[in-house]
Structure formats: structure tokens, C-alpha cells
Amino acid sequence: MSLPRTPSFRLDGRRALVTGGSRGIGLGCAVALAEAGAHVVVAARGEAELLSAVGEMQAAGLSAEALVLDVTDRAAVEAALDGVGALDVLVNSAGMARHTPALATVEADYDAVMALNVKAAYVLAQEVARRMTGPGSIVQVSSQMGHVGGIDRAVYCASKHAVEGMTKAMAIEWGPRGIRVNTLCPTFIRTPLTEATFADPEKRAWIEGKIKLGRVGRVEDIMGAVVFLASDASALVTGTALMVDGGWTAG
């Protein structure tokens, strides 16, 4: 009898690109992939914060490099991808939210959210997949809000539902090439960007009432999940959403 062996969660010898990687969820993803052995190209728009984050990763012995990049600029994305060389993993964590009641949404906010959360995510996946020469993993950081609705979140929910749909279609098209495409869907994660939401007692009560595990998310909660999706441990997982939502979407 021969016992089965667990596929490796290690990423040694692989190259990954993480966008939105200078803070919060993106930084957590970058660190997690690097700790698993990948060389990580960490991309973000803000140079100072990016260099600081990558410097700390390097000081911790992790293999990382910085890439200043605005992912909404297609020409810049194409040039950057041509420059970084072959990639095995993409984690797109660049995103934004502008929360208002649906009746109060202004066109500029709608356009800005869709340009980053949907169009840039689409183009980035497209251009990375175009350059992948072998099996690979593309992870779009979506949200639980790609599966449900939320207060003052009509535009954000629309953008993340769109990400979920395009992920399924891309997974179907690129599966024969060995490219897996999935979404990672966190609940509310405590970061500097979400502090304004947690500072509102009514919204905090709504959040805490929805999370069945009784606590809000931490950046560390998404780190194991992204390594799973990037690694051979998820070799038969594509076109799906990995919920890291504390049970929010369970009902």
C-alpha cells in the first residue's frame, strides 16, 4: 500500500506579482507568498510606502522587489510586465471603495471604483495570462460583497460581483493552459483603510452581528488562504471563490 502525500504549500522557485502590496491585505499577501518561498514583485502607486514595506521584507530575509505601478494605466502595466519577466502567480489586491447610498452615488465615484476594481483587474489578469508560459495561479482579491449586498455599498458590490463573474469566465478559457483563476473573498479586515467604518458605532454593530465567528478579520487571516490558492495544494481549484468571511455569507 502506498500512502497519498499532501501536495506542497511551498512556492520555492516561483515568481509572484502582488499589486496593492504596500499595505493592508496586499502586504499580507506579499509577505505570505515570500514566506512560502516565492520571489515577490510588490507593486503599488505610492513609492515611499512601497519602498518601506519592501525594505522591511528584505530585512526579514524575504525575497522581494518593489515596482511603482498605477494598474489603471494599461501602457504602464504592459511595460512593467515586460520588464519583470516570467510570472507564476498574480495576486491582484489593488482596489478601492467609495461608499454612499445608491441614490447619492455620483458618476465620478462610480467611474473611479469601476476603473480600478473591474477594468484594471481585468486588464492585469489578461496581460499576465498572456505572458504565462506554463501553469500558473491568478488570484483576484474580491470580497464577501461580491456575493451579497451591503449598506451604502451598491457601487462596491457591483464591482466585486463583476470580478466574480470574469474570474469564472477566465478560469474556463485558461484552464486548458493550466492557468487557475480564483477569487479570495475577505470579510471586513481591520486595516487603516477600514478604520472610518469601524469608528461608526452603527456600522460596527452591523458588521459584528453578521460575522458568525464573533470578531472582525485581521490581515493574518488571509495569509494562509492566499498561499493555498497560489500553491500546488489547490491544483484542482479554479473558477471559484474562497470565502474568508467568518461565516458572513453562510446566512
Task: Decide if 44 contacts 69 (C-beta within 8 A).
Answer: yes
CA distances to 63, 145, 168, 180, 231 from 38, rounded to whole Å, are: 7, 29, 26, 17, 10
- Give catalytic status of residue 156 as yes or no: yes
Q: What secondary structure letter does DSSP report for 117?
A: I
Measuring CA to CA, how many Å separate 158 from each of 112, 118, 215, 218? 13, 9, 26, 24
Residue whose entry in the numeric block shows the C-alpha cell 491582484: 92
Which of 14, 25, 44, 156 does the annotation list as catalytic? 156
CB-based burial label for 217 (10 Å; 0-12, 13-18, 19+): buried
Q: Cell digits for 97?
A: 471603495
240, 206 Cβ separation under 8 angstroms = no
The set of catalytic residues is 156
